[in-house]
Structure 1
């Protein structure tokens, strides 16, 4: 695993320490990695929505209903 040195603001460092202290995570590293995984997953979702919107804008319309788009979005969110 790659090692990194990062600087944190006091409130962020305290929050991380509290999460570890409350046994939510075993270490700050585990928590930071989890936050990064969550951000990466969110980016996948954002990219999917962005691509759908761009496709719709280029075609002038989409044949998908609101319900279909909502279902696809929820399916993507739930993995």
Structure 2
């Protein structure tokens, strides 16, 4: 694992310390890693949403569509 040092103003350092204590993280590094993972996941979700928004239009998803999916799952299961 690599090491990265960051500088924070006292107010942010105090906030991180409060989060570590109050939310059950073992260290400030665990808290920061969690924030980075969440940000990465949010960016991934955003890219998927944008990709979907830019994709070609499909037929409507209605009750019949879901019934067809259920039937396919039953046949495979």
Aligned with 1:47: secondary structure? Answer: helix
Aligned with 1:15: secondary structure? Answer: helix
Equivalent-residue separation in structure 2 for 1:47 and 1:10 (angstroms): 34
State the match for 2:32 in structure 1.
Answer: 32
Q: Which runs of 5+ in 1 are unaligned?
A: 66-79
Instruction: Summarize the Cα distance change of 1:18–1:54 in structure 2 as closer, same or farther, 3 Å threshold.
Output: same
Larger Rg belongs to:
2
Query: How many correspondences in the alignment?
Result: 63
Over the aligned positions, Cα root-mean-square deviation in angstroms equals: 2.3
> Which deviates more from structure 2 when the two are superposed, residues 25-34 or residues 6-15?
6-15
TM-score (norm 1): 0.65
Q: Alpha-carbon deviation of 1:10?
A: 2.7
Q: Which runs of 5+ in 2 are unaligned?
A: 62-77
Between the two structures, name the one with larger relative contact order (CA 8 Å, sep ≥ 6). Answer: 1
